[in-house]
Amino acid sequence: MIELTNVRKEYGETLAVEDLSLRIPTGTLCVLIGPSGCGKTTTLRMINRLVEPTSGSIRLDGSPVETRDVNELRRNIGYVIQQVGLFPHMTVSQNVATVPRLLKWDKKSTAARVNELLDLVGLDPGEYGEKYPSQLSGGEAQRIGVARALAADPQIVLMDEPFGAVDPLTRDILQSEFIKIQRKLKKTVVFVTHDIDEAIRMADTVVVMQEGRIVQADSPEDLLARPATSFVRDFVGADRALKRLARFAVADIMVPAEGLGVDLEATEIASEYRFPWVVDEDGRFVGWVDTDAVSAGTTVGEALHRVVAAEFCLREEGSVKDALSRMIHEGVQSLPVADGDGRLTGSVTLAAIQEFSTRGTAL
Amino acid sequence: MRFRRAAGWIVTPAALGLCLIPPVATAFFRFLFPDVPDHLYTRSTMVTLLGQHLALVAISSLPAVIAGIGAGVAVTRRGGEEFLSLVKGAAAIAQTFPPAAVLALAVPALGFGTKPAVFALFLFSIFPVLENTIAGIRSVPPAVLDAAAGMGMGPVVRLLRIELPLAFPVILGGVRTAVVINVGTATLGAIVGAGGLGVPIIAGLVRFNPAFVLHGALVAALLAFVLDRSLRSLETRYGREA
C-alpha cells in the first residue's frame, strides 16, 4: 500500500504538486495521467525520493519513506523510465543484474534470476544476454528496462511513461505483455502516462491530474462513465463511450441463446427471429437460416447458410467495443457468442449494448 | 588500410630503434651532414637520454592525470559546479603560459635540475586531462544517471560504475594529448639541467651541429608517435566495448 498524504512540492515560486493525497492498494496498477506539467512525474519521483517533497508524508505499507536509507529504499522499488537508461557499457545480463548486484546476491542466484527475467519479458537469454544495449531495438531495450526493474522482485514498481518512446505497434505489444506480467506478479504499480488509451487499458485506478492537483481518481470504467469535470471530459475524449465499452468483455453483457438443430423440419421452426442460428449435434455453431425463404419439406440443414464459426461468432473474452464494431460492420442487430470449440454459448444484442452503455453499469 | 596500420606499428618503433644504435645513427647523419665534424653526441648515450626523457614525462604526467581527473570529477559533482569555471580558467592559464617562462620562474624556487622541469610539465598536462574528464562525464546521458540513481546506486557507486567507465575513452584521449605534448615540451628541460632528449638539441645549438639537434628531435618525435599510437589503440579497444 502506497499512501500519499497532503504531499506538496514547490520549486522556488512554482508549485509542482499541491496537497495531494492518494492511496494505492497493494497489487493494483495506478495510472497518473494529465497534461505536461501537471505534476504526475514529480509525484512518481517523490515515492522513491528522487524528489523530496516540501511537505506531507509518503508511506509504503505504513513506514514513512523519509525514515529509510534512500539507496536501500530505491533498491526495493522498481524503476522504469521512458528513455530506458540502460547502461551502454554493460551487457543485457549485467544491466538486468544491477540491483541484485547492489544487494550483493551471490553470482549463481543472480544469473538464474537474470535468465528467469529475460524469459518473463519474452527475450531468449542465450540470444540476448551478452548483447550490448546499442544492439537492441527500442522495444527490446524497454523489455530489458522492465526486466531490470523487476530483477530483485520489488513489491512496488514505478514506471514513468515506459512505452512512450516506441512505435504504436510495439507499444501495443509491450502494453499487453506488461498486463500479462502484472496479472501474474501483482505488483503495486504507479504508472505515469499522457496517453488516455494506455491509461484505460492498463489501470485499475486512473488518477487525472491538473496543475498539481488530483481532479478525479476512479476506475477506468467510472472515469469514462462519469467524468468529474469538463477538463476530465475533454481529456478522456469525445469517444469515451466507446473507450468505456472497450473495458468490458462480451461475457459481461451476453444472454443465453439456443440454436436450431440441423435435422429440424422447416415447418417446425418456431423462432421469434427471422434469421435463427443453427447448431450441429455437438452444439457447435454452423450458420443461420432465413425463415421466410425455407419451404415445407426441407430440413434446417438443407436451407442453412453456412458460416465459419471462428470468424462469425464473438468470443466471451472479446471486448464489447469490438462486438459493437462487428454489428455495425455486418449490419446485424445481434451476434452469437461461441467458446473455443465453436459451441454456441449465448448472444449479444445491439439493444443490450445500448442499454448497458446508457445505464453505466454491468448487467 | 590494414597494411598501413601494420606498417605504422612496425615502421615507427623500428625507426626509433635504429636511432638508438650509435653506428647506424652515425652513418645516417654522416650521409645527411657530410661537412659536420661530429655526427654523434657522445657525452651520454641516446638510450640514457631517452630514459631520462621518459622519466620526466612519466613523473610529470602521472600526477597531472590524477589531478586532472580528480578536479574534473570534483567540478562535475553536485555542489562542485560553482568551481567549474574557476578550475577551467586556472588550468587554461597554466596551459597558455609559455613553458620556457614557467621554467625560468620555477628555477629560483626549485633550483636547477629535474624539479622545475617536472613542475612545468605537470602544469601543462593538467588542462587536456581536466577538459576531457569534464567532457567525458558530461557526455553520460542524463537518463542513464537517472536510472542508476533510481535503482539505488549512491553517488560513489554511480561515479565508479557508470560515469568513469563511460567517460574513460574520452579521458584517455585527454591523457594522450597531454603525454604527446609533454614529450615535445620536455626537451626544454635540458635548459634547466633536467637531462632528456633536449640535451643533444641544446648541445647542437651551442656547437652549430645540426646532426645533434636533428638526432634529439627525431627521437623525441618518434617517441611521441609511438606513445600516441599505443594510447590511441587503447582508446578504440575500450571505446568499441562500450
At A319-353, the pLDDT tens digits run 999 999 999 998 899 999 999 888 999 999 999 99
Residue B188's pLDDT band (cuts 50, 70, 90): very high
First to last CA, chain A: 31
Q: Classify strands A205-210 and A188-193 as parallel, antiparallel or unpaired.
A: unpaired
A94 in reach of chain B (CB within 8 A): no
Pairwise CA distance, residues A88 & A92, whole Å: 9
- What is the three-class DSSP state of A226? coil
Q: Which residue has the cell 631517452?
A: B50
Note the pLDDT of residue A362. 47
At A149-197, the pLDDT tens digits run 999 999 999 999 999 989 999 999 999 999 999 999 999 999 999 999 9
Nearest CA in chain B to A72: B152
SS3 content of chain A, % helix, strand, coil (to 5): 40, 25, 35
Cβ pair B143:A84 closer than 8 A: yes
Note the pLDDT of residue A261. 85
Note the pLDDT of residue A299. 82
Note the pLDDT of residue B139. 95
Residue A148's pLDDT band (cuts 50, 70, 90): very high
The phi, psi pair for A82, rounded to 5°, reads -60, -45
CATH number of the domain within which B109 lies:
1.10.3720.10
pLDDT at B2 over 80: no
Are the C-beta atoms of residues B60 and B121 closer than 8 Å to each other? yes
Provide the ipTM: 0.81
**Domain range for B176:** 2-241
Of B143, B165, B242, the CB nearest to A83: B143
Of all residues in chain A, the percent with pLDDT exceeding 70 is: 99
Close Cβ partners of B91 (under 8 Å, ≥ 6 residues apart): B68, B71, B126, B127, B130, B131
Close Cβ partners of B158 (under 8 Å, ≥ 6 residues apart): B145, B148, B149
Of A84, A89, A102, the CB nearest to B165: A89
Question: Hey, what's the cell of B73?
Answer: 570529477
Are the C-beta atoms of residues A193 and A199 closer than 8 Å to each other? yes
Determine the distance in angstroms separating the CA of A165 from the nearest CA of chain B, rounded to an integer: 13
Note the pLDDT of residue A363. 43
Note the pLDDT of residue B240. 56
Cβ pair A88:B166 closer than 8 A: yes
What's the whole-number mean pLDDT along residues A31-44?
A: 95
Cβ pair B150:A89 closer than 8 A: no
- The count of structural domains within chain B is 1
Are the C-beta atoms of residues A34 and A209 closer than 8 Å to each other? yes
Q: Classify strands A29-33 and A205-210 as parallel, antiparallel or unpaired.
A: parallel
Cβ pair A85:B152 closer than 8 A: no
pLDDT at B6 over 80: no
Note the pLDDT of residue A125. 96
- Average pLDDT for chain B: 90
Cβ pair A86:B144 closer than 8 A: yes
Ranges assigned E (strand) in chain B = none
Measured between beta carbons, which residues in chain B are less than 8 angstroms from residue A153? none
A104 in reach of chain B (CB within 8 A): no
Note the pLDDT of residue A92. 97
DSSP string, A62-108: TEEGGGS-HHHHHHTEEEEETT----TTS-HHHHHTHHHHHTT--HH
Measured between beta carbons, which residues in chain B are less than 8 angstroms from residue A149? 151
Note the pLDDT of residue A361. 54
At A255-305, the pLDDT tens digits run 998 888 888 887 777 777 888 898 988 889 999 888 887 777 778 888 888
Note the pLDDT of residue A219. 95
* Of the listed ranges A203-207, A254-258, B27-31, B237-241, the one predicted with least confidence: B237-241
Note the pLDDT of residue A247. 86
Give me the torsion for CA of A108, A110, A113, A118, rounded to 10°: -110
Measured between beta carbons, which residues in chain B are less than 8 angstroms from residue A74? 149-152
Note the pLDDT of residue B162. 97
Of B144, B150, B154, the CB nearest to A87: B144
Cβ pair B153:A71 closer than 8 A: yes
Strands, sheet with A314-315, edge to edge from the N-terminal-most edge strand: A314-315, A334-338, A344-349
First to last CA, chain B: 24
What's the whole-number mean pLDDT along residues B66-94?
A: 88
What's the whole-number mean pLDDT along residues A228-242?
A: 91
Name which of B198, B58, B168 is nearest B122 in CA terms.
Answer: B58
pLDDT at B75 over 70: yes
Pairwise CA distance, residues A137 & A145, whole Å: 12
Are the C-beta atoms of residues B50 and B198 closer than 8 Å to each other? no
